[in-house]
Amino acid sequence: MTDYVLYQYPLRACSSVTVNAMMEVGLEFEDQVINILAGEQNEAAYRKIHPFGKVPALSVDGDVIIENVAILLYIDAVKPGVLFPQADCSLDRAEIYSDLVWCAATLHPAVRRVRMPMRYTDGDTVGVREKGLEELTKILNVIEERLSGDRWWYNDRWSIIDVYVNWGIMTAASTDLISLPSYPAIRSHIQRVRARPSFRAALARQTAAKERAGLVFPDEATWNTEVS
């Protein structure tokens, strides 16, 4: 049996998407929490695992895969036909890869500039957040149109892209700078994503991992997880 260890920061980081993917396909794995707030990602021991000090990282029998896109594509290769729709040709496959990279390289950075603008400057963060919000608003408008009519990202087929989009939007919405009532299709999509068994299982697993690690989030009282 393959030995999987997932290095994650539960409930907050994009490793939440990875946990959901592992739960969806039914891969057994060990949780290894990296306390980002305490700076564990910068410690020498973790830098040997992930030289850039990020999460997630997935150890596969001791060999490590970094970057969420690569990890999700690996999971899809191990358990094909679960995380993504069937690709009937090279162009279909390229579209799936494009959407996954878009989540990591376009959606995620826009969310980070809204949620964590201090990561981008040592000075005043107002301008960083404003530009991030401007870009994110454009992104949300595109997502709203794509999900209209109670569609999944790929029409009638759930995929891990739906979870990635959900993570990005809910992370941004936790700042109260995003008004979800302005996006009815997105709100419906969030509710459907969160109702799926693998999402609920991933949420429970991350909550348990957080408690075992003794993590206390400074934004615990203000983090908005409700679809309002």
Cβ neighbours of residue 96 under 8 Å, at least 6 residues apart?
Answer: 84, 85, 87, 159, 161
For range 113-136, the mean pLDDT: 93
Q: Inform me whether the pLDDT recorded for 221 exceeds 70.
A: no
- Residue 39's pLDDT band, with cuts at 50, 70 and 90, is very high
Percentage of the residues of the chain whose pLDDT score is greater than 70: 96
> 162: which 2 tokens?
């739906």
For 164-211, write each residue's pLDDT tens digit.
999 999 999 988 888 999 999 999 999 999 999 999 999 999 999 999
- Residue 226's pLDDT band, with cuts at 50, 70 and 90, is low
Backbone φ and ψ for 8, nearest 5 degrees, come out as: -145, 165
Backbone φ and ψ for 157, nearest 5 degrees, come out as: -120, 115
Is residue 121 a contact partner of residue 129, using CB atoms and an 8 Å limit? Answer: no
For 126-143, write each residue's pLDDT tens digit.
999 999 999 999 999 999
- Structural domains of the chain, ranges and CATH numbers in brackets: 4-82+198-213 (3.40.30.10), 90-195 (1.20.1050.10)
